[in-house]
Chain A
Amino acid sequence: MRTKAAVPISFTPLTRRGRWPYHATVPEYRPGPVATDATVVEIDGRVALFIPATQELAFLNTTASDVLRLCDSHRTLDDIVSRIASDSGIPPKAVSDSVTQAIESFVAKSLFGIHP
Protein backbone atom coordinates (compact mmCIF):
# COMPACT_ATOMS: atom_id res chain seq x y z
CA MET A 1 0.00 0.00 0.00
CA ARG A 2 1.36 3.40 -0.90
CA THR A 3 0.79 6.26 1.50
CA LYS A 4 1.15 9.86 0.63
CA ALA A 5 4.20 11.13 2.45
CA ALA A 6 4.03 14.57 3.97
CA VAL A 7 6.73 17.00 2.93
CA PRO A 8 6.44 19.82 5.43
CA ILE A 9 6.94 23.34 4.20
CA SER A 10 7.27 26.13 6.65
CA PHE A 11 5.42 28.73 4.64
CA THR A 12 1.79 29.27 5.42
CA PRO A 13 -0.40 28.22 2.47
CA LEU A 14 -1.49 31.21 0.50
CA THR A 15 -5.00 32.11 -0.51
CA ARG A 16 -5.79 32.65 -4.16
CA ARG A 17 -6.36 36.33 -4.39
CA GLY A 18 -4.86 39.19 -6.27
CA ARG A 19 -2.26 38.39 -8.90
CA TRP A 20 -1.67 34.72 -8.32
CA PRO A 21 1.52 33.34 -9.85
CA TYR A 22 -0.03 30.63 -12.00
CA HIS A 23 3.35 30.18 -13.67
CA ALA A 24 4.42 28.12 -10.69
CA THR A 25 1.96 25.39 -11.56
CA VAL A 26 3.14 25.02 -15.16
CA PRO A 27 5.45 22.02 -15.46
CA GLU A 28 7.77 23.85 -17.87
CA TYR A 29 8.15 26.86 -15.56
CA ARG A 30 11.78 27.41 -14.57
CA PRO A 31 11.70 29.17 -11.18
CA GLY A 32 14.48 31.28 -9.81
CA PRO A 33 17.03 32.47 -9.24
CA VAL A 34 16.56 34.14 -5.87
CA ALA A 35 16.28 37.92 -6.12
CA THR A 36 19.68 39.52 -5.76
CA ASP A 37 18.52 41.90 -3.04
CA ALA A 38 17.36 39.06 -0.78
CA THR A 39 19.60 38.18 2.16
CA VAL A 40 20.16 34.45 2.37
CA VAL A 41 21.72 32.71 5.35
CA GLU A 42 22.31 28.97 5.18
CA ILE A 43 23.14 26.98 8.27
CA ASP A 44 23.51 23.21 8.38
CA GLY A 45 21.41 22.71 5.27
CA ARG A 46 18.57 25.01 6.17
CA VAL A 47 17.95 28.44 4.72
CA ALA A 48 16.71 31.66 6.29
CA LEU A 49 15.89 34.69 4.16
CA PHE A 50 15.12 38.32 4.45
CA ILE A 51 12.95 39.39 1.52
CA PRO A 52 13.08 43.18 1.02
CA ALA A 53 10.06 43.25 -1.29
CA THR A 54 7.80 41.99 1.47
CA GLN A 55 9.98 42.95 4.46
CA GLU A 56 9.66 39.38 5.70
CA LEU A 57 12.01 37.02 7.44
CA ALA A 58 11.39 33.43 6.38
CA PHE A 59 12.82 30.29 7.94
CA LEU A 60 12.65 27.23 5.72
CA ASN A 61 12.67 23.64 6.79
CA THR A 62 15.06 21.20 5.15
CA THR A 63 12.78 20.30 2.25
CA ALA A 64 11.85 23.87 1.41
CA SER A 65 15.53 24.78 1.60
CA ASP A 66 16.30 21.99 -0.87
CA VAL A 67 13.59 23.26 -3.20
CA LEU A 68 14.89 26.81 -3.03
CA ARG A 69 18.43 25.67 -3.80
CA LEU A 70 17.18 23.92 -6.93
CA CYS A 71 15.40 27.03 -8.19
CA ASP A 72 18.14 28.31 -10.48
CA SER A 73 16.03 29.40 -13.50
CA HIS A 74 17.39 26.44 -15.48
CA ARG A 75 15.54 23.52 -13.88
CA THR A 76 11.86 23.13 -14.64
CA LEU A 77 9.24 22.41 -12.03
CA ASP A 78 9.25 18.79 -13.17
CA ASP A 79 13.04 18.63 -12.80
CA ILE A 80 12.79 19.92 -9.25
CA VAL A 81 10.02 17.50 -8.32
CA SER A 82 12.03 14.62 -9.75
CA ARG A 83 15.16 15.63 -7.87
CA ILE A 84 13.39 16.09 -4.51
CA ALA A 85 11.61 12.77 -5.02
CA SER A 86 14.82 10.96 -5.84
CA ASP A 87 16.76 12.50 -2.93
CA SER A 88 14.02 11.72 -0.43
CA GLY A 89 13.03 8.33 -1.82
CA ILE A 90 9.43 9.45 -2.09
CA PRO A 91 7.38 9.01 -5.31
CA PRO A 92 7.19 12.23 -7.42
CA LYS A 93 3.39 12.35 -7.17
CA ALA A 94 3.66 12.45 -3.39
CA VAL A 95 6.03 15.42 -3.32
CA SER A 96 4.64 17.34 -6.26
CA ASP A 97 2.00 19.29 -4.33
CA SER A 98 4.42 20.34 -1.60
CA VAL A 99 7.12 21.40 -4.05
CA THR A 100 4.62 23.36 -6.10
CA GLN A 101 3.22 25.01 -3.01
CA ALA A 102 6.71 26.00 -1.86
CA ILE A 103 7.54 27.50 -5.24
CA GLU A 104 4.21 29.33 -5.36
CA SER A 105 5.02 30.78 -1.98
CA PHE A 106 8.47 31.87 -3.11
CA VAL A 107 6.98 33.59 -6.14
CA ALA A 108 4.14 35.16 -4.16
CA LYS A 109 6.66 36.60 -1.74
CA SER A 110 8.56 38.16 -4.64
CA LEU A 111 11.55 35.97 -4.06
CA PHE A 112 11.73 35.23 -7.78
CA GLY A 113 10.93 37.26 -10.80
CA ILE A 114 8.25 35.86 -13.10
CA HIS A 115 9.82 34.21 -16.15
CA PRO A 116 7.11 32.41 -18.17
Chain B
Amino acid sequence: VIPAPAPRTVSVTALGGGVEVEVEDSRLREVVTELWRDLRHSETSPEPAVGHRARVDGTGPWLLTTDYSMATEPANGSPPLAKPDEPRADATTFAEAISLVCSAINVPLATRGPYLVAHAAVVARAGTTLAIPGASGAGKTTLTVALLQHGWRYVSDEALAVDWNTGVLHSYPRPLGVSDWSAAMLDVVGGVRGDREWFLRPAELGAEVADGATGITHIVIVDRDRSAPTLQPAHRMDALEILLRRSFNYYRDPARALQTFGGVVRRASVQRLCYGDPQLAASLLTDTFG
Protein backbone atom coordinates (compact mmCIF):
# COMPACT_ATOMS: atom_id res chain seq x y z
CA VAL B 1 0.00 0.00 0.00
CA ILE B 2 1.38 3.35 -1.00
CA PRO B 3 0.37 6.01 1.51
CA ALA B 4 -1.35 9.05 0.11
CA PRO B 5 0.99 12.00 -0.21
CA ALA B 6 0.63 14.64 2.47
CA PRO B 7 -1.38 17.62 1.23
CA ARG B 8 0.87 20.40 0.02
CA THR B 9 -1.86 22.98 0.12
CA VAL B 10 -2.92 25.50 2.73
CA SER B 11 -6.65 26.07 2.31
CA VAL B 12 -8.42 28.95 4.02
CA THR B 13 -12.10 29.73 3.74
CA ALA B 14 -13.55 32.96 5.06
CA LEU B 15 -15.88 35.83 4.17
CA GLY B 16 -17.58 33.76 1.52
CA GLY B 17 -14.35 33.12 -0.35
CA GLY B 18 -11.61 30.59 -0.45
CA VAL B 19 -7.87 30.60 -1.08
CA GLU B 20 -5.65 27.63 -1.77
CA VAL B 21 -1.91 28.10 -1.56
CA GLU B 22 0.32 25.28 -2.66
CA VAL B 23 3.47 25.50 -0.56
CA GLU B 24 6.53 23.44 -1.42
CA ASP B 25 8.33 24.17 1.86
CA SER B 26 6.79 21.80 4.45
CA ARG B 27 7.91 23.88 7.44
CA LEU B 28 6.44 27.05 5.96
CA ARG B 29 3.25 25.17 5.16
CA GLU B 30 2.86 23.86 8.72
CA VAL B 31 3.45 27.26 10.31
CA VAL B 32 0.97 29.03 8.03
CA THR B 33 -1.64 26.30 8.43
CA GLU B 34 -1.47 26.64 12.22
CA LEU B 35 -1.63 30.45 12.07
CA TRP B 36 -4.83 30.45 9.99
CA ARG B 37 -6.52 27.68 11.96
CA ASP B 38 -9.18 29.95 13.50
CA LEU B 39 -10.57 30.98 10.14
CA ARG B 40 -11.06 27.46 8.94
CA HIS B 41 -13.26 26.79 11.95
CA SER B 42 -15.16 30.05 12.08
CA GLU B 43 -16.59 30.28 8.60
CA THR B 44 -20.35 30.35 8.69
CA SER B 45 -21.10 30.80 5.00
CA PRO B 46 -22.22 27.60 3.33
CA GLU B 47 -19.95 27.66 0.29
CA PRO B 48 -17.21 29.97 -0.91
CA ALA B 49 -18.47 32.24 -3.66
CA VAL B 50 -15.04 32.78 -5.19
CA GLY B 51 -11.85 30.81 -5.29
CA HIS B 52 -8.26 31.94 -5.63
CA ARG B 53 -5.09 29.95 -6.06
CA ALA B 54 -1.46 30.69 -5.32
CA ARG B 55 1.78 28.74 -5.25
CA VAL B 56 4.98 29.19 -3.25
CA ASP B 57 7.98 27.48 -4.78
CA GLY B 58 11.30 26.86 -3.07
CA THR B 59 12.57 26.30 0.42
CA GLY B 60 14.59 29.51 0.54
CA PRO B 61 14.44 31.77 -1.29
CA TRP B 62 10.71 31.48 -1.91
CA LEU B 63 8.75 32.59 -4.97
CA LEU B 64 5.05 33.35 -4.78
CA THR B 65 2.88 33.13 -7.88
CA THR B 66 -0.81 33.97 -7.71
CA ASP B 67 -3.74 33.91 -10.07
CA TYR B 68 -4.74 37.33 -8.74
CA SER B 69 -3.09 40.71 -8.29
CA MET B 70 -1.63 41.25 -4.84
CA ALA B 71 -2.75 44.87 -5.05
CA THR B 72 -5.78 46.02 -3.17
CA GLU B 73 -7.92 48.51 -5.00
CA PRO B 74 -7.04 52.09 -4.09
CA ALA B 75 -9.70 53.76 -1.97
CA ASN B 76 -10.35 57.41 -2.77
CA GLY B 77 -6.88 58.14 -4.06
CA SER B 78 -4.93 55.99 -1.61
CA PRO B 79 -2.01 54.24 -3.26
CA PRO B 80 -2.42 50.50 -3.89
CA LEU B 81 -0.46 48.17 -1.61
CA ALA B 82 1.34 46.62 -4.56
CA LYS B 83 1.69 47.20 -8.26
CA PRO B 84 -1.44 46.18 -10.16
CA ASP B 85 -1.15 43.08 -12.27
CA GLU B 86 1.84 41.84 -10.33
CA PRO B 87 1.12 38.20 -9.52
CA ARG B 88 4.67 37.32 -8.43
CA ALA B 89 6.73 38.21 -5.39
CA ASP B 90 9.68 36.68 -3.59
CA ALA B 91 11.14 36.34 -0.12
CA THR B 92 14.67 35.69 0.99
CA THR B 93 14.12 35.02 4.69
CA PHE B 94 11.68 32.71 6.42
CA ALA B 95 10.08 35.69 8.16
CA GLU B 96 9.49 37.39 4.82
CA ALA B 97 8.07 34.15 3.45
CA ILE B 98 5.58 33.98 6.32
CA SER B 99 4.43 37.55 5.64
CA LEU B 100 4.25 36.84 1.92
CA VAL B 101 1.98 33.82 2.32
CA CYS B 102 -0.19 35.58 4.91
CA SER B 103 -0.66 38.48 2.47
CA ALA B 104 -1.41 36.06 -0.36
CA ILE B 105 -4.20 34.59 1.77
CA ASN B 106 -5.44 37.87 3.23
CA VAL B 107 -5.70 40.04 0.12
CA PRO B 108 -8.26 38.00 -1.85
CA LEU B 109 -10.29 37.05 1.21
CA ALA B 110 -10.57 40.61 2.51
CA THR B 111 -10.97 42.39 -0.81
CA ARG B 112 -12.46 40.06 -3.43
CA GLY B 113 -15.25 38.27 -1.56
CA PRO B 114 -19.00 38.77 -1.72
CA TYR B 115 -19.28 41.08 1.31
CA LEU B 116 -18.93 44.83 1.68
CA VAL B 117 -15.66 45.30 3.55
CA ALA B 118 -14.04 48.24 5.32
CA HIS B 119 -10.56 48.32 6.80
CA ALA B 120 -11.35 48.11 10.50
CA ALA B 121 -10.72 46.19 13.68
CA VAL B 122 -13.71 44.57 15.36
CA VAL B 123 -14.00 43.12 18.87
CA ALA B 124 -17.01 41.92 20.83
CA ARG B 125 -18.06 41.37 24.40
CA ALA B 126 -21.40 40.50 25.98
CA GLY B 127 -23.68 41.88 23.31
CA THR B 128 -21.43 44.83 22.53
CA THR B 129 -19.44 44.99 19.31
CA LEU B 130 -16.87 47.71 18.66
CA ALA B 131 -15.62 48.63 15.20
CA ILE B 132 -12.44 50.69 14.92
CA PRO B 133 -11.95 51.81 11.31
CA GLY B 134 -8.62 53.14 10.15
CA ALA B 135 -5.84 52.91 7.64
CA SER B 136 -2.84 50.63 7.93
CA GLY B 137 -0.59 51.96 10.67
CA ALA B 138 -3.40 53.77 12.46
CA GLY B 139 -3.05 51.49 15.48
CA LYS B 140 -5.99 49.16 14.93
CA THR B 141 -4.11 45.97 15.69
CA THR B 142 -2.35 47.47 18.70
CA LEU B 143 -5.64 48.60 20.17
CA THR B 144 -7.19 45.24 19.30
CA VAL B 145 -4.46 43.38 21.20
CA ALA B 146 -4.95 45.67 24.19
CA LEU B 147 -8.71 45.08 24.10
CA LEU B 148 -8.24 41.30 23.86
CA GLN B 149 -5.98 41.54 26.90
CA HIS B 150 -8.92 43.27 28.64
CA GLY B 151 -11.23 40.34 27.96
CA TRP B 152 -12.79 41.27 24.62
CA ARG B 153 -13.28 38.58 22.01
CA TYR B 154 -11.76 38.73 18.56
CA VAL B 155 -13.70 39.34 15.37
CA SER B 156 -10.95 40.83 13.19
CA ASP B 157 -8.03 43.24 13.17
CA GLU B 158 -8.48 43.77 9.44
CA ALA B 159 -12.00 43.75 8.11
CA LEU B 160 -15.43 44.98 9.03
CA ALA B 161 -17.34 42.76 6.61
CA VAL B 162 -21.08 43.04 6.21
CA ASP B 163 -23.67 41.60 3.90
CA TRP B 164 -24.36 44.04 1.04
CA ASN B 165 -28.11 43.70 1.53
CA THR B 166 -28.70 43.14 5.23
CA GLY B 167 -25.66 44.74 6.85
CA VAL B 168 -25.18 41.61 8.98
CA LEU B 169 -21.62 41.33 10.30
CA HIS B 170 -19.31 38.47 9.30
CA SER B 171 -16.21 37.62 11.30
CA TYR B 172 -12.72 37.46 9.87
CA PRO B 173 -10.41 36.33 12.69
CA ARG B 174 -7.20 36.20 10.71
CA PRO B 175 -3.92 35.94 12.66
CA LEU B 176 -3.05 39.27 14.24
CA GLY B 177 -0.01 40.98 12.78
CA VAL B 178 1.61 42.77 15.72
CA SER B 179 4.47 45.19 15.13
CA ASP B 180 7.64 45.02 17.19
CA TRP B 181 6.69 48.31 18.85
CA SER B 182 3.24 47.02 19.77
CA ALA B 183 4.59 43.70 21.02
CA ALA B 184 7.02 45.50 23.31
CA MET B 185 4.42 48.04 24.47
CA LEU B 186 1.84 45.37 25.28
CA ASP B 187 4.17 42.64 26.59
CA VAL B 188 3.15 40.26 23.84
CA VAL B 189 5.25 37.10 24.01
CA GLY B 190 5.31 34.39 21.40
CA GLY B 191 3.89 34.25 17.95
CA VAL B 192 5.54 33.61 14.62
CA ARG B 193 8.16 35.99 13.34
CA GLY B 194 7.08 37.76 10.16
CA ASP B 195 8.62 40.62 8.26
CA ARG B 196 8.79 43.43 10.86
CA GLU B 197 5.84 41.94 12.74
CA TRP B 198 4.76 38.99 14.82
CA PHE B 199 1.84 36.85 13.76
CA LEU B 200 -0.23 35.25 16.44
CA ARG B 201 -3.62 33.69 16.97
CA PRO B 202 -5.90 35.31 19.55
CA ALA B 203 -5.59 32.17 21.70
CA GLU B 204 -1.94 33.09 22.26
CA LEU B 205 -3.21 36.24 24.00
CA GLY B 206 -5.64 34.19 26.04
CA ALA B 207 -8.52 35.51 23.93
CA GLU B 208 -11.36 33.75 22.16
CA VAL B 209 -12.75 34.21 18.70
CA ALA B 210 -16.19 35.81 18.83
CA ASP B 211 -18.91 33.80 17.21
CA GLY B 212 -22.37 35.16 16.76
CA ALA B 213 -21.68 38.90 16.70
CA THR B 214 -24.15 40.09 14.10
CA GLY B 215 -24.15 43.88 14.35
CA ILE B 216 -21.91 46.77 15.28
CA THR B 217 -23.09 48.61 18.39
CA HIS B 218 -20.32 51.23 18.61
CA ILE B 219 -17.95 52.74 16.08
CA VAL B 220 -14.78 54.27 17.49
CA ILE B 221 -12.88 56.83 15.41
CA VAL B 222 -9.31 56.95 16.65
CA ASP B 223 -6.93 59.89 16.81
CA ARG B 224 -3.43 59.29 18.14
CA ASP B 225 -1.74 61.83 20.36
CA ARG B 226 0.27 61.75 23.54
CA SER B 227 -2.45 62.73 25.95
CA ALA B 228 -4.50 60.68 28.38
CA PRO B 229 -7.30 58.89 26.55
CA THR B 230 -10.58 60.72 26.03
CA LEU B 231 -13.80 59.56 24.46
CA GLN B 232 -16.23 62.05 22.96
CA PRO B 233 -19.43 61.56 20.95
CA ALA B 234 -18.90 62.13 17.23
CA HIS B 235 -21.28 62.62 14.32
CA ARG B 236 -22.46 59.40 12.69
CA MET B 237 -21.76 60.89 9.27
CA ASP B 238 -18.06 61.07 10.18
CA ALA B 239 -18.10 57.32 10.76
CA LEU B 240 -19.95 56.71 7.50
CA GLU B 241 -17.37 58.73 5.58
CA ILE B 242 -14.49 56.84 7.19
CA LEU B 243 -16.06 53.45 6.51
CA LEU B 244 -16.52 54.30 2.85
CA ARG B 245 -13.07 55.86 2.51
CA ARG B 246 -11.58 52.75 4.13
CA SER B 247 -13.66 50.30 2.16
CA PHE B 248 -11.82 47.79 0.00
CA ASN B 249 -14.69 47.27 -2.41
CA TYR B 250 -17.37 49.98 -2.19
CA TYR B 251 -16.62 50.83 -5.82
CA ARG B 252 -18.47 47.70 -6.95
CA ASP B 253 -21.75 49.41 -6.09
CA PRO B 254 -21.21 52.82 -4.45
CA ALA B 255 -24.91 53.58 -4.05
CA ARG B 256 -25.59 50.33 -2.23
CA ALA B 257 -22.39 50.68 -0.19
CA LEU B 258 -23.61 54.11 0.95
CA GLN B 259 -26.96 52.70 1.97
CA THR B 260 -25.56 49.57 3.63
CA PHE B 261 -22.91 51.34 5.67
CA GLY B 262 -25.48 54.06 6.35
CA GLY B 263 -27.65 51.40 7.97
CA VAL B 264 -24.72 50.08 10.00
CA VAL B 265 -23.90 53.58 11.24
CA ARG B 266 -27.52 54.40 12.11
CA ARG B 267 -27.67 51.38 14.41
CA ALA B 268 -24.45 52.30 16.22
CA SER B 269 -23.20 55.03 18.50
CA VAL B 270 -20.13 56.85 17.25
CA GLN B 271 -17.33 58.00 19.52
CA ARG B 272 -14.01 59.71 18.89
CA LEU B 273 -11.12 58.27 20.91
CA CYS B 274 -7.96 60.33 21.39
CA TYR B 275 -5.18 58.35 23.01
CA GLY B 276 -1.49 57.78 23.30
CA ASP B 277 -1.21 54.66 25.43
CA PRO B 278 -3.18 51.70 24.00
CA GLN B 279 -3.51 50.02 27.39
CA LEU B 280 -5.12 53.11 28.91
CA ALA B 281 -7.34 53.44 25.84
CA ALA B 282 -8.44 49.80 26.14
CA SER B 283 -9.24 50.38 29.82
CA LEU B 284 -11.35 53.41 28.94
CA LEU B 285 -13.23 51.55 26.20
CA THR B 286 -13.78 48.57 28.49
CA ASP B 287 -15.03 50.76 31.34
CA THR B 288 -17.33 52.62 28.96
CA PHE B 289 -18.70 49.81 26.80
CA GLY B 290 -17.61 46.52 28.34
Contacts and interface: CB of A to CB of B under 8 A. Distances in A.
**Chain A complexes with chain B:** yes
B236 interface: yes
A48 B240 contact: yes
B236 A39 contact: no
Given A50-B254, A55-B254, A41 B241 contact: no
A48 to B, nearest CB: 6
Nearest to B237: A46
Contact of A41 (B235, B240, B250): B240
Contacts of B258: 39, 41, 48-50, 57
B265 interface: yes
A59 B236 CA distance: 12
Contacts of B235: 43-44, 46
Name which of B235, B237, B240 has the most chain A CB atoms within 10 A of its CB.
B237
Contacts of B4: none
A57 B237 CA distance: 13
A62 to B, nearest CB: 9
A113 interface: no
Contact of A50 (B236, B237, B241, B255): B255
Contacts of A57: 244, 250, 254, 258
Contact of B259 (A41, A52, A55): A41
Contacts of A43: 235-237, 240, 262, 265-266
Interface in A43-84: 43-44, 46, 48-50, 52, 55, 57, 59
Contacts of A39: 254-255, 258-259
A115 B236 CA distance: 34
Interface residues of A, number: 12
Contacts of A41: 240, 258-259, 262
From A44, A46, A48, A49, name the one whose CB has the most chain B CB atoms within 10 angstroms: A48
B241 A48 contact: yes
A109 to B, nearest CB: 14
Interface string B245-286: 000001000110011001001100000000000000000000
B237 A44 contact: yes
Nearest to B236: A43
A110 B258 CA distance: 19
A53 to B, nearest CB: 12
A76 B265 CA distance: 34
Interface string B186-229: 00000000000000000000000000000000000000000000
24 contacts: A39-B258, A41-B258, A41-B262, A43-B236, A43-B240, A43-B265, A43-B266, A44-B235, A44-B236, A44-B237, A46-B235, A48-B237, A48-B240, A48-B241, A48-B258, A49-B258, A50-B255, A50-B258, A52-B255, A55-B254, A57-B254, A57-B258, A59-B240, A59-B241
The 7 residue pairs across chains A and B that have the minimum distance between CB atoms? A39-B255, A41-B262, A46-B237, A50-B255, A59-B241, A43-B236, A50-B254
